[in-house]
Structure formats: C-alpha cells, structure tokens
Structure 1
C-alpha cells in the first residue's frame, strides 16, 4: 500500500514540475510517464486522466482553504487583522501551487476553482463585515483579500514575516478605508 502511495506522490511531483514548465494543457500524460520512466498504462493505474491528476494536486489547496474558512466561521467574534494574517499564511504556504493554478485559467474553470475562490471571498467578506456587507464593504474585502494573495506571489524574495506585516497592514488599511 505504501508503495502505491509513494508512486502517486512521485507522479504528482513530476507532474507539478512539468505543469510549471510547460503548462497543464501542454503536458500530456505520456510526457509525465516518460519523465518518470514508467509506461502510460502504469500512470493510468494511479490516475485515470490528466484532470484527475490535476485535481489530486490542487485538492490539498481546496481542503486547506475550506478548513481555514470553517475555523474562521466557528468563531463568535472576528478579529479582522487575525483573519487577514491567517489568510496570508494560507496563501504563503500554498504559493507555488497558487502560481501554477493561476497560470492555468482554463484548468481553473474546468476544476470549478473559480467558483470556489469566489465563494470563499464572499464568505470571508461576510466574516469581515457581518452580517451582510454592502457593496463598498464587499469591494474593500475583495481588494484586501486579493491583494494579500497577490503579495505572496509578487514578492518571493522578501522574508515571510516582513512581507506578512506589510501586506496585512495594507489589507487592514484597505478594509477600513
């Protein structure tokens, strides 16, 4: 059993690398199999399609995002700064995968990720401005959340804590603007 899981992880690692270099749409399962030194049928044993393989790679991002949201939604009181810090941390931890996903908009759409992200942002806006944010508040929430995500990607060489402080401070200013 561990061997199969090990092979799945190797396939995912190689696929991530090829997807980053060539794009999801331009990376065939044959290319992944060749890079691994296995046959295409062996790859099909673990993943029935490229979509299934891509989904398996982004699933941890989806699961972690949902877990973050559920944890925030359980709170009786929301501290905007703490929520934004957690949101920054989530994106920082997943930034390599987020870059891959963002560079593949057609793949995002196929996997339903666009709807997921929009739903997450709506849920977060309701937490930041309860009970129901008006248009101005929703707009500020989208700007703050999108800006935090973008900062984790835009400044890869800035130390995490320095970037976190600057990005979260800017996001808080956007919310209170």
Structure 2
C-alpha cells in the first residue's frame, strides 16, 4: 500500500476511535489493532496521537488556505462572496468527521495549537465575505452566514431527510443572508 494511503487510513481509523471512545481514552495500540498493523508500522507514520490529530487538522486547513488564497485574488463582489460560501461548504462536507470531533473534544482542541490556527482561518474567511464599511446589521448577516454553514453541519445530522437536500437548504439560507447584507 502506498504511503499516502496508509497515512490516510491511520487518520481515518484514529478519528473513528476518537469519536467512539474519546481522544484521551484512545491509545496508539488500539489504533494499530483496528488497522491490523504493528505499532511499529503505525509509529513509522505518526509518533503520537497528537501527531495524528495535527495531520488531520492540516488536511482540513489545506482546503481553507486554498480558499482564502483564491478569495483574496478575486474582485470583492457579491458573486465572489457567494462562491466562497459554496466552496467552503464543499470543504465542510468533506471534513465532517473532523468537525464533529472538534465539537465533541473542545478542551483537547484548545490545548493543541491547531485550534488557534483554525480560529484564525475562520476569522479570515468571515472578513472575506464582508466589507469594513458594511453597517453593523450587514456585518452580523455575513457572520451569521458562516455560522449557518457550521450549524448546518452539526444540527442537521439530527434532522430527518436527504443529506444533499439538507446541504442545499443550509447553503441557500447562508446565501440569502449574504444577499441581504448586499441589499440584493
């Protein structure tokens, strides 16, 4: 198996175990057992649980960094802001298991530097979908659009319905908030 695939499998299984029994209660030995590899094989890729978690966060933040870089190069228009939300939703859906982990293990996330860098990225994205001269209500609408995206990830898990329809509904509400902030 290619190294990248093994690394990804380790991260996926670790995240499953972290979700099932908590980060603190999960050992590298248990991760290795679930993968049916030796602890040495696991150790080749990751020395500690924290290393696995940092790798997961890097995988999550890479699309965010790419989105921020793209948005910073675009004209500051409503269309660009709408596209930021669309692309951000794709990243959120892809990273849903990690977001659930973050929600359920906030203390652990806070202890690691990754939590801080994630927060900084969120603030940057929020700034990219608004203008400094927006009225306070419009700034709140833009910030609410971002929070709608996040709330949709967490709270709609418990709502009956097709996942695709739920994602579309969340995006539509977020885009409506953005359009209102622009007086559209």
TM-score range, shorter chain: 0.7 to 0.9
Q: Residue 169 of structure 1: which of 168, 172, 177 is its match?
A: 172
- What residue is the counterpart of 2:110 in the other structure? 109
* 1:155 aligned counterpart, secondary structure: helix
Shift of residue 28 of structure 1?
A: 1.0
Distance in 1 between the 2:173 and 2:114 partners?
Answer: 26
Q: Deviations over 1:131-176 (max 9, x none)?
A: 465654443332210111221333244342x334322232234342
How many pairs align? 175
| Alignment gaps of 5+ in structure 2 | none
The CA RMSD over aligned residues, in Å, is: 2.5
TM-score for both structures, normalised by structure 2: 0.78
8 Å CA contact 1:88, 1:168 repeated in 2: yes
- What residue is the counterpart of 1:30 in the other structure? 29
| Alignment gaps of 5+ in structure 1 | none
Label 1:48 to 1:139 Cα distance change in 2 as closer, same or farther (>3 A): same
Distance in 1 between the 2:40 and 2:133 partners?
Answer: 51
TM-score for both structures, normalised by structure 1: 0.81
